[in-house]
Amino acid sequence: MTPMVSIRPGPSAAHNALRCAALRGKPLLNLPAWALRTRRSIATNAAVQETPVEYPSYPPGVPSVSIAPRRSLEERKKAVKNAKPFSEFLTDTFNRQHDYLRISITERCNLRCLYCMPEEGVPLSPPAHLLTTPEIFYLSSLFVSQGVNKIRLTGGEPTVRRDIVPLMQSIGSLRSKGLRELALTTNGISLHRKLDSMVEAGLTGVNLSLDTLDPFQFQIMTRRKGFEAVMKSIDRVLEMKKLGANIKLKVNCVVMRGLNEREIIPFVELGREKDIEVRFIEYMPFGGNKWSQGKMISFQEMLDIIRTKYPDLRKVPGHKNDTSKTYEVPGFVGKVGFITSMTNDFCGTCNRLRITGDGNLKVCLHGNAEVSLRDLLRKDNGGEPIDQEAFERIRQIEMDRRDGRLSDQTVLGWGQREKELLQVIGAAVKRKAEKHADIGDLENMENRPMILIGG
């Protein structure tokens, strides 16, 4: 008798192809470890019996595939009724719920992009001032416990951090606690060398910064070589997507008048046959990047440029918390997005918080108000960085204070420190303004260089 196999809904067509091949017992050669692990999990699930919903149209010899039944209306009502309210600590006075956390894990970068930092670089924080891996994991755990379901690792350039893969593995373990997405913003120079391990660790999305498709112009805009390596990283992400990896790819392009506005159309055409969303970003003012309104090309001007060649460009419905306005050219596989911070802000639906490399909480990208989480976190460690040994020692002290039991009053068992951190975070979130300053004020405001914020 043909066994019934349960497959959960939702994977890509490519992923389904991988599953079907595994179900038929066909060998899959030269697959990376993450793909082989997917195949093994499918083979294991083949023996699992669940209530099936049969589809009789499969040809002879192919196992019937069933979809696990959806929860009943009563079950869904019960789930809604029992759902916990969103954290008050992460809800501001305008009722914006901040469930997206961006963490800068390094201030270093192997490029010198014009809009990001001065040619001579920027003064870097002493190593002891930067967050350690245990500190980043602890703060990630704390925010996830309060309702954050998406974490993005940024920099500087995050792939230059030596322990980025172990760090991603530890953060990836928070999926059982409610984390849904683990994303990365990168320049792509060395991504292709680490991508397989990152996907194994739980990476679900890559935002790759690329401002030109011309290798010579690339050197002008980044003051470094590396165009071929970036394209290799893009190709590797696309290759993994075809193999069934659950990973989104977005290419971010900052458009600057006199430098790369002629490449808007070629970037759009990247999506003709490739599953890429290219997002054009309005040039924004940050410390040391010599911003001027004359260099900025507005969202509307970019739309007009594209429509001179593709007049049928049309808007795509998006999510309320999207930072970009998404469009598509009929017949193209990829999409086009616009991040319009300067001319058409999206502050009203902002759900993002940022932690800088030196441990400051920043509630608005364009605001200069910051509060240190690092100093409070290290208070019982003499102000010194918390390594893995210190992390375990401090945690054990808190547990011993409660006779070896985790506190019922705090989520992670860190007692008073956890309460104080949440109070500081909550107070900072409550101070978040309704919207950031307008163009004229932003131009004259002091703010960190982009490289020291993490985007």
228 and 293 both lie in a single domain: yes
123 and 243 both lie in a single domain: yes
Q: Is 29 or 36 the better-scoring residue by pLDDT?
A: 36
Q: What value does the mean pLDDT take over residues 321-345? A: 89
165 and 260 both lie in a single domain: yes
Residue 29 has pLDDT above 60, yes or no: no
113 and 167 both lie in a single domain: yes
pLDDT for 203-252, tens place per residue? 999 999 999 999 999 999 898 999 999 999 999 999 999 999 999 999 99
24 and 151 both lie in a single domain: no
57 and 114 both lie in a single domain: no
358 and 233 both lie in a single domain: yes
The pLDDT of residue 67: 37
Q: pLDDT band for 45, please (50, 70, 90 cuts).
A: very low
Domain count, the chain: 2
Q: Is 449 or 408 the better-scoring residue by pLDDT?
A: 449
Residue 81 lies in a domain: no
pLDDT for 118-132, tens place per residue? 777 778 899 999 999
Q: What value does the mean pLDDT take over residues 362-372? A: 86
The pLDDT of residue 142: 94
Rounded to whole angstroms, how far apart are CA atoms 346 and 141? 27
- Domain edge (last residue) among 57, 73, 89: 73
Residue 417 lies in a domain: no
Which domain CATH number covers 204?
A: 3.20.20.70
The pLDDT of residue 117: 73
- Domain edge (last residue) among 54, 73, 92: 73
In contact, 96 and 37? CB cutoff 8 Å: no
Rounded to whole angstroms, how far apart are CA atoms 337 and 360? 30
Cis amide bond preceding 357, omega within 30:
no
65 and 104 both lie in a single domain: no
Cα distances (angstroms) measured from residue 235 to each of 18, 38, 96: 19, 21, 37
Residue 14 has pLDDT above 80, yes or no: no
pLDDT for 170-209, tens place per residue? 999 999 999 999 999 999 999 999 999 999 999 999 999 9
The pLDDT of residue 399: 67
In contact, 133 and 167? CB cutoff 8 Å: yes
What is the percentage of the chain residues whose pLDDT exceeds 70? 71
Q: pLDDT band for 64, please (50, 70, 90 cuts).
A: very low
Residue 87 has pLDDT above 80, yes or no: yes
In contact, 67 and 53? CB cutoff 8 Å: yes
Residue 112 has pLDDT above 90, yes or no: no
In contact, 122 and 391? CB cutoff 8 Å: no
48 and 138 both lie in a single domain: no
- How many residues does the structure list for the chain? 455
Q: pLDDT band for 9, please (50, 70, 90 cuts).
A: very low
Residue 163 lies in a domain: yes
In contact, 224 and 111? CB cutoff 8 Å: yes
Residue 60 lies in a domain: yes
Residue 28 has pLDDT above 60, yes or no: no
Residue 331 has pLDDT above 70, yes or no: yes
Cα Rg of the chain (Å, integer): 24
Burial of 326 (0-12, 13-18, 19+ CB in 10 A): middle
Cα distances (angstroms) measured from residue 125 to each of 108, 182, 215, 288, 357: 10, 26, 32, 17, 9
Residue 46 has pLDDT above 50, yes or no: no
63 and 107 both lie in a single domain: no
Residue 425 lies in a domain: no
Rounded to whole angstroms, how far apart are CA atoms 184 and 105? 11
Q: What value does the mean pLDDT take over residues 36-57? A: 44
162 and 69 both lie in a single domain: no
Residue 84 lies in a domain: no
The pLDDT of residue 43: 47
Q: Mean pLDDT, the chain, as a whole number?
A: 81
What secondary structure, in 3-state letters, does the chain show? Answer: CCCCEECCCCCCHHHHHHHHHHHCCCCCCCCCHHHHHHHHHHHHHCCCCCCCCCCCCCCCCCCCEECCCCCCHHHHHHHHHHCCCCCCCCECCCCCECCEEEEECCCCCCCCCCCCCCCCCCCCCCHHHCCCHHHHHHHHHHHHHCCCCEEEEECCCHHHCCCHHHHHHHHHHHHHHCCCEEEEEECCCCHHHHHHHHHHHCCCEEEEECCCCCHHHHHHHHCCCCHHHHHHHHHHHHHHHHCCCCCEEEEEEEEECCCCHHHHHHHHHHHHCCCCEEEEEECCCCCCCCCCHHHECCHHHHHHHHHHHCCCCEECCCCCCCCEEEEECCCCCCEEEEECCCCCCCHHHCCEEEECCCCEEECCCCCCCCEECHHHHCHHHCCCCCCHHHHHHHHHHHHHHCCCCCCCCCCCCCHHHHHHHHHHHHHHHHCCCCCCCCHHHHHHCCCCCHHHCCC
Q: What value does the mean pLDDT take over residues 7-31? A: 47
Domain span including residue 345: 100-368+432-452
Residue 232 lies in a domain: yes
Give strand pairing partners of 7. Answer: none
351 and 290 both lie in a single domain: yes
Q: What value does the mean pLDDT take over residues 366-382? A: 88
pLDDT for 238-297, tens place per residue? 999 999 999 999 999 999 898 899 999 999 999 999 999 999 999 876 655 565 777 899
Q: What value does the mean pLDDT take over residues 369-393? A: 90
Residue 388 lies in a domain: no
The pLDDT of residue 310: 98
The pLDDT of residue 439: 52
